[in-house]
Amino acid sequence: MGEQISAFQKLVNTAIEFIVNYSFQALGAVIVLIAGSILAGWVQRLVLKLLTKKKLDVTLAHFLASSARISVFAIAAIIALGKFGITIAPFVAALGAAAFGATYAIQGPLSNYGAGLSIILGRPFVVGDTITVAGVSGVVVEVKLAATLITDEDGVRITVPNKHIVGEILYNSKTNKIVESVIGISYDSDTDVAINTIQEILLKHSEVVRTPLPHAGIQAFAESSINIGFRYWVPTATYYKSSYAVNNAIFKAITAAGIKIPFPQREVRLVKEPV
């Protein structure tokens, strides 16, 4: 019983000694961290405001603002550690050793961060552009260090790891997306009338952009029809809606112009074998 009381007394004495010796340091460290956090947020907003005013790319502006916030908070953390008499050199060495040991475990995330930095600095695309990469397509919503967020016409948010973007074939059509379609007309129809009719519809439709201009012409001579191909660009956000509306308008205009759209035909001959 006496040993337990003695051990408890030692524990109490140690706690009192720690409070007396380090309470003010701990309080100072907490105050430094709080002040550093507030200052870091203020610096981030200030840098973002200045870069936005200079009309810098939104992705790069957010990256630089976030970097400024992290830098300010890191300085505050170093000062807070100093309150406990911890020097930064051993801490950095330990952190470097830990990072080296964990390199193989986090190789995937690190490659994404490296690719994200390359995208942010190289700017092969920016927020608002339409990209097609890694089998997906959509409008860029946000570019982060780890991944790029895009959204399609259905509002589906797609997260593409940045390592699947850098070094791959990337299609960037800015804010628009191309529509490629074809319609078949009979061989006895006037191709000039058909092409002009389609061209007029494309030029009159409100969702079809004027730069670049839409195109229409003979694409192929099929078995049962002359295929008239046409290409035009529409805003990515209304891709399907616009293409369906254009198809409907073209079908009505072609029909009204008296141009026939033939059905597929096959000629079958029966050969009677001699008895």
> What mean pLDDT is reported for the chain?
81
Total domains in the fold of the chain: 3
pLDDT, mean of residues 190-214: 93
CA-to-CA dists, residue 40 to 53, 80, 82, angstroms:
20, 15, 19
Whether residues 213 and 252 share a domain: the answer is: yes
For residue 210, the enclosing domain spans 176-256
pLDDT, mean of residues 173-193: 92
Give the residue, 17 or 136, on which the prediction is more confident.
136
Omega within 30 of 0 (cis) for the link into 262: no
Question: Is the pLDDT confidence value at 187 over 80?
Answer: yes
Q: What does the alpha-carbon distance between residue 249 and residue 260 come to, in Å, rounded to a whole number?
A: 16
Whether residues 156 and 186 share a domain: the answer is: no
Whether residues 88 and 129 share a domain: the answer is: no
Question: Is the pLDDT confidence value at 145 over 90?
Answer: no
Question: So what's the pLDDT on residue 167?
Answer: 85
Q: Does 237 map to a domain?
A: yes
Torsion 173-110-159-67 (CA) sign = negative
Question: So what's the pLDDT on residue 196?
Answer: 95
Contacts of 138 (CB under 8 A, 6+ apart): 130, 131, 150, 151, 152, 156, 158, 236
Model confidence at 175, in pLDDT bands (50, 70, 90)?
confident
Q: Does 85 map to a domain?
A: yes
Whether residues 186 and 166 share a domain: the answer is: no
Q: What does the alpha-carbon distance between residue 72 and residue 75 come to, in Å, rounded to a whole number?
A: 5
Model confidence at 249, in pLDDT bands (50, 70, 90)?
very high
Model confidence at 102, in pLDDT bands (50, 70, 90)?
very low
In 3D space, the residue among 100, 115, 102, 40 whose CA is nearest the CA of residue 71 turns out to be 40
Fill in the amino acid letter for 66. Answer: S
Question: Is the pLDDT confidence value at 94 over 60?
Answer: no
Lowest mean pLDDT segment, chosen from 83-87, 134-138, 210-214: 83-87
Question: Is the pLDDT confidence value at 273 over 60?
Answer: yes
Q: Strands (DSSP E) along 88-245, which ranges?
A: 130-133, 136-143, 147-151, 157-161, 171-172, 176-185, 215-221, 226-235
Q: What does the alpha-carbon distance between residue 144 and residue 60 come to, in Å, rounded to a whole number?
A: 10
Q: What does the alpha-carbon distance between residue 160 and residue 170 come to, in Å, rounded to a whole number?
A: 12
Q: Does 154 map to a domain?
A: yes
